Chain A
């Protein structure tokens, strides 16, 4: 009987030992991938406020000081900022610490100088950490080596938490006995008597249950750990393991991350009073949260300092000096500003193609993403404000509308911002990536591009905006109408696209065939061509805002399709690049034809369905774009671009009910202020292809005209475009372009 019991107990102990040792070994290597934003580039001439640089530095955990010295600090001067950067390993190598002074004038960077007074042409700031790709339990940590743990921290932990750590074998019988006495007297559990090793074990299994069997298991595991590892290894594990705070869904573990999180410093840079505050927080990181309860935290910190002095870890006058310090914390990074779940989801999806989820959560990779935090914050704000304004103006129930925005740099094909809903900090349904909605008139550029590709049309070609009956395969007849229920008669392709005429577009699309349109749309950026049905011509195809961004990115990029990227590079723990994601382009169409389409999209803003954008946009900024509205006003879209930014905005209701808004009245009223506030964007001004020639045409008819005629538009058209001359507006042969002359010559031959 006794033998059996012995075997049973031994087996159980072995089982517990196996569990805790496996846990210890794996925890050792559990390093979530760290994701960084794109670095902010500084160069003379860049439109940038000093405040933007300060915000960026704070995001990276830099501290403001009065006299410069340490790396990771900055000092504000009159119209300038002095920065001491930290050494930082970018994707292309380690950049050493540098002291620079950046001067600002008229909201621009005026000059940058290094410590020797030499002008600096361009530099990048340390990028903001966006967070980590955690394992499912949400723990984040910055693991520190034993060498980077200050002796004082070890001594303080022992003095406060476990005085006999260096002597005991995992459990401390004396303190257990003392705790037992206290607890029996009180009639409840008041005192723990846990050693650091026991606390470590407890932390591994994430439970606060205080049952006797748990305590016993914990004790056995602690003893096993002590048998296999030395005190230094256990202390290091403890320093990296313990829970020290909460940042939204992210649990702050370990002193390395906690010192960054609270003080913006590395652990080795902490001062005594700061270290004492962290040790104080151990007992109850939410109860003693120094941000929420500074008084309470300070009281406990001072207690810790007194204890350290009493136990001879520090001198008593050191404690006195340390106690005088107020609690000074770095601005909270996660306070709604750098927690970007919608963008992080895109990062995960891109990485999933090349990495296992488990590798991302454990291998300590460094991920350089393309997120522009300034752009992201602006986009979040603009969407939230815009939806509230729309609801207020239209007497809609607050919270009825939802929205999503994707912003890219069209040339580098980098995703700069992703907002998946009006509660941007909420890790919920990501509409930017997952809401598939009919795109309405956003498809029209593909219809007109497909028409130009046949070689039979130019923007000046005439088309009839007259009722049309399209027989459908199921025997019914489709008779699309215009949005304004008007019939505009003969018109130019330019005007039909600019003002988004439905009947003219369907007529054109049926002339060339919906297959060509489906094919053009797919080439511009879809994984596969949509069904080539007549209804496709008015946008009966369900796409996500990200899909639309991919398609319109090809327009903004001059006809070159480039897969959108959220990640530029991934490094391993040694700083070696595991993956680089370069810009890869494919010619989606003839760039000279796309150039024509883009001219029409500029007219959309100048005089077409997008003209209300000018309520927000400066006249001098040339932009191009297109509105989209789905049936019964269920979806309101706007996609448009400048020379440097593309943004796609969707507004609608989650339950797909009608919102009563067109693309112009809804999405555009968010897109336009967004672009107006980017601050650092240039006009859309593509280089004219060599094959085009400047031409004036009458907007309504597409007839060749001169600037003296009424209602004319300057267009760059292919040099061999056949044009009919507008009679009676002073158009003489000598005013005509070479092409028109050639054409007339041919007629008169």
Chain B
């Protein structure tokens, strides 16, 4: 298993997703949902990327769309395939953060950092997620406190 290579591909996918607004990810070619009926992406067209990287990209795209259910299924499929890949757990943590599960976001970030070993890029990505989760939690707690004061 060639983890660093997968990681590279995944990072490239991530970069592409970020710079193109997630629309250039060939593999994520599911029929766009219409009329409120969610269609999942179906069998996914291949690229040179590993299956886990393809699912990671799918999950990121679904999270960007706010479709957290689909994002969760895709990222869980991915971690079953490559459980030692920290980029997948980082995405799992990002999804938990989007869902407001701060503890889980932090725990996954720390797990990713542990799995990263000496990979500095992953470690700093994990640190960023930890900082984001702490900030979001503080924001949520402050909002809750204001709410409590009002009532």
Contact = CB atoms under 8 A, between A and B. Distances in A.
A662 B43 CA distance: 48
Contacts of A121: 27, 44-47, 49, 51, 54
A120 B44 contact: yes
Contact of B54 (A98, A122, A409): A122
A685 B1 CA distance: 11
A43 to B, nearest CB: 4
A279 B32 CA distance: 43
A574 B29 CA distance: 25
A95 B77 CA distance: 15
Nearest to A556: B83
B142 to A, nearest CB: 25
B73 A123 contact: no
A92 B116 contact: no
Nearest to A591: B114
A92 B84 contact: no
Contacts of B37: 94
Contact of B38 (A41, A93, A682): A93
B76 A90 contact: no
Interface stretch (B15-23, B104-112, B129-137): B104-112
B54 to A, nearest CB: 4
Nearest to A414: B80
Contact of A687 (B40, B44, B45, B114): B114
Given A92-B70, A569-B73, 5 more contacts: A43-B51, A44-B51, A409-B80, A560-B111, A582-B76
Q: Which of B45, B54, B69, B73 has the most CB of A within 10 A?
A: B73
A41 B79 contact: no
Contact of A95 (B39, B72, B104): B39
Contacts, number: 125
Contacts of A558: 111, 114-115
B44 A123 contact: yes
Interface of A: 41, 43-45, 90-96, 98, 100, 112, 114, 118-124, 409-412, 414, 558, 560, 568-569, 577, 580, 582-587, 591-592, 643-644, 682, 685-690
Contacts of A643: 83-84
13 contacts: A43-B51, A92-B73, A98-B43, A120-B43, A120-B46, A123-B43, A410-B83, A412-B80, A580-B69, A585-B108, A592-B114, A687-B115, A690-B117
B10 interface: no
A45 B54 CA distance: 14
Given A121-B54, A412-B83, A558-B111, A689 B46 contact: no
Interface string B107-148: 110110011111000000000000000000000000000000
A40 B111 CA distance: 27
A582 to B, nearest CB: 6
The 9 tightest CB contacts between A and B, nearest first, are A411-B83, A123-B43, A93-B40, A121-B46, A119-B46, A92-B73, A93-B38, A122-B51, A43-B51
Q: Which of A94, A122, A411, A412 has the most CB of B within 10 A?
A: A122
A527 B56 CA distance: 34
A289 to B, nearest CB: 38
B117 A92 contact: no
A687 B116 contact: yes
Contacts of B47: 121
B39 A690 contact: no
B35 interface: no
B43 A585 contact: no
A112 B43 contact: yes
Contacts of A585: 104, 107-108, 111
A98 B77 CA distance: 20
B105 to A, nearest CB: 11
A90 B73 contact: yes
B107 A412 contact: no
A96 B31 CA distance: 10
Nearest to A560: B111
Q: Provide the main secondary structure of the chain B interface.
A: helix
Given A121-B51, A583-B92, A91 B117 contact: no
B83 A644 contact: yes
Given A577-B69, A687-B84, A92 B114 contact: no
B1 to A, nearest CB: 7
Contacts of B81: 41, 43
A122 B52 CA distance: 9
A703 B90 CA distance: 39
Nearest to A692: B117
Interface in B27-70: 27, 31, 33, 37-40, 42-47, 49, 51, 54-55, 69-70
Contacts of B107: 560, 585-587
A582 B27 CA distance: 25
Nearest to A686: B84
A100 B77 CA distance: 20
A43 B46 CA distance: 10
A94 B117 contact: no
Nearest to B78: A122
Given A92-B74, A585-B104, A587-B107, A411 B46 contact: no
A114 B51 contact: no
A121 B13 CA distance: 15
A447 B35 CA distance: 58
Contacts of B31: 96
A682 B80 CA distance: 12
Contacts of A687: 84, 114-117
Given A121-B27, A587-B110, A114 B45 contact: yes
Given A580-B72, A582-B72, A93 B39 contact: yes
A587 to B, nearest CB: 6
Nearest to A90: B40
A583 B51 CA distance: 20
A95 B40 contact: yes
A580 B116 CA distance: 28
Contact of A119 (B45, B69, B115): B45
A588 to B, nearest CB: 11
Contacts of B77: 41, 122, 124
Contact of A96 (B39, B46, B108): B39
Q: Which of A93, A411, A682 has the most CB of B within 10 A?
A: A93
A411 B80 contact: yes
A44 B46 contact: yes
A366 to B, nearest CB: 14
B55 A122 contact: yes
Contacts of A92: 38, 40, 69-70, 72-74
B75 to A, nearest CB: 9
A690 B115 CA distance: 9
A517 B144 CA distance: 39
A194 B74 CA distance: 54
Nearest to B48: A121
